[in-house]
Amino acid sequence: MTDNDPALAGLSDPRLARKSAQRLSAEQARERVLIVQVDFGNLDLDEAIEEVRMLAESAGADVADVMTCRRDRPDVALFVGSGKAEEIGQHAKALDAGLVIFNHSLSPVQQRNLEQVVHGRVIDRTSLILDIFALRAQSAEGKLQVELAQLEHLASRLIRGWTHLERQRGGIGMRGPGETQLETDRRLIGTRVKMLKERLARLAKQRRTQGRARSRQGVLTISLVGYTNAGKSTLFNALTHSGAYAADQLFATLDTTVRRVWLPEAGNVVIADTVGFIRDLPHTLVEAFKATLETTTQADLLLHVIDAANPARDLQIVEVNKVLAEIGASHVPQIRVYNKCDLTAAEPGVERDPYGKITRVRLSAQTGAGLPWLRAAIAEFARPDSENPESSSHSLELAPPPLLSPDVDQ
């Protein structure tokens, strides 16, 4: 999208222009922020705070402080009570924090009311994640997907940029173009959204065509899924010997990377590295990235990469499975890969269910320990059913290859 994009010409709200990471100044990139975390009793508070801190730092923020409070349920108008909202505003001013980040989803009304009380900018968890995606998207398709999600999120909040025109109740001196301008902005957003969806639909059609071609060739397709920062890209590089970007940060990978590799134990295999999931992943992002995530829904096997060293790993597994169900990938066979075992007391190895199927693999993608176990698990899955040579399905029920010793922890 260029500065002269006709689909955005005339948009009066500057937030409608997509941010470019290259245009951010160093000062903007290190904006001081105050984080607010409300305890409703349904989360591990320390883990939630650590995660939102990492999200904020991934967006380039300088976290000045984290405020917490406890409530039974959100306040309809301010999410927190009026007294706590004023306290947040005073604390932000004392810290010279120009932005307040709520680690929750705020309604447009709550966000607008909070900004009036705090006397500063307020964003929620959804806006923060969208901003990180905008910074990280590299491919043309990734940028289109992020822009689509941003515009659809902004459409419900467009009125926030027009508080000076909320007096359109009629009367001399009060009549003006406010409502017309809002309708114009909404129409332009709608036009842009329609165009983005058409572009993404064409790209999705191309991907489906490529997927059908691989299926006709009998190539096993594997998709790496998991919570963000679980080590998917590191494992992808270890399996494919490629140089996909990997870093110890949230959402290091946004664009799906696909490689065809030869595994001596399994033959030709196509492996896809996909975007990581996270708790309360914005629905607009899930919808926008559905085209990319079709790689996951059409895979023969999912390698669910789990950060074994993270104390919240069980909750992260639940969140990943929620997103897989939402995109229609819950039916795809799955092997759980417990990564980073070098940071735990667990030894590399595999675990089998009562039927002899490998259900879990413990390894370290960073050191390479346990990778042979994973290759063996893929080989078992890829091997055709000996009782039905014509079957096109992949079986997990075969005896373990010699590589797997019988004394592995069950």
List the chain pLDDT tens, one digit each, 410 residues.
444 443 444 444 444 444 444 444 444 457 899 999 999 988 889 999 999 999 999 888 999 999 999 999 999 999 999 999 999 999 999 999 999 999 999 998 999 999 999 999 999 999 998 888 888 777 788 788 888 888 888 877 765 444 444 444 444 444 455 555 667 777 788 888 899 888 888 887 877 776 666 565 668 899 999 998 899 989 999 998 876 656 656 676 666 788 888 887 778 899 998 888 888 877 777 877 776 677 788 899 999 999 999 998 999 999 999 989 988 899 999 999 999 999 998 899 999 988 888 899 999 999 999 999 999 999 999 874 533 333 333 333 333 333 333 333 33
**341 assigned binding-site residue:** yes
CA distance 281 to 84: 27
List, in sequence order, every residue forming a beta bridge with 65; answer none if it has no partner. Answer: 34
**122 assigned binding-site residue:** no
Whole-structure pTM value? 0.74
- Find out whether 260 and 218 touch, Cβ atoms under 8 Å: no
Model pLDDT, residue 395: 36
**273 assigned binding-site residue:** yes
47, 53, 59, 62 alpha-carbon torsion, rounded to 10°: -170
B/e letters for 237-249, b = 16+ CB within 10 Å, e = fewer, are bbbbeeebebeee
- Report residue 32 as tokens: 């001081």
The count of residues in the chain is: 410
Phi/psi at 334 (5° precision):
-135, 135
Q: Cα 140 vs. chain centroid, distance in angstroms?
A: 18
**252 assigned binding-site residue:** yes
Model pLDDT, residue 116: 93
**253 assigned binding-site residue:** yes
**46 assigned binding-site residue:** no
Return the residue matching tokens 């939402």.
Answer: 326
What does the angle CA 39 – CA 42 – CA 43 come to, to the nearest 5 degrees?
Answer: 75
**339 assigned binding-site residue:** yes
**365 assigned binding-site residue:** yes
Q: Long-range pairs for 47-54 at CB < 8 Å and ≥24 separation?
A: 47/311, 47/312, 47/315, 48/103, 49/103, 51/250, 51/278, 51/279, 52/101, 52/103, 52/125, 52/128, 54/229, 54/249, 54/250
**227 assigned binding-site residue:** yes
Give kind and range of the element (H or E) at residue 109: helix 108-118
Model pLDDT, residue 164: 43
Model pLDDT, residue 388: 37
Return the residue matching tokens 């001596």.
Answer: 264
**4 assigned binding-site residue:** no
CA distance 57 to 111: 22
**230 assigned binding-site residue:** yes
**79 assigned binding-site residue:** no
- Find out whether 34 and 65 touch, Cβ atoms under 8 Å: yes
Domains by residue range for the chain, with CATH: 14-136 (3.40.50.11060), 217-382 (3.40.50.300)
Model pLDDT, residue 268: 86
**276 assigned binding-site residue:** yes
**228 assigned binding-site residue:** yes
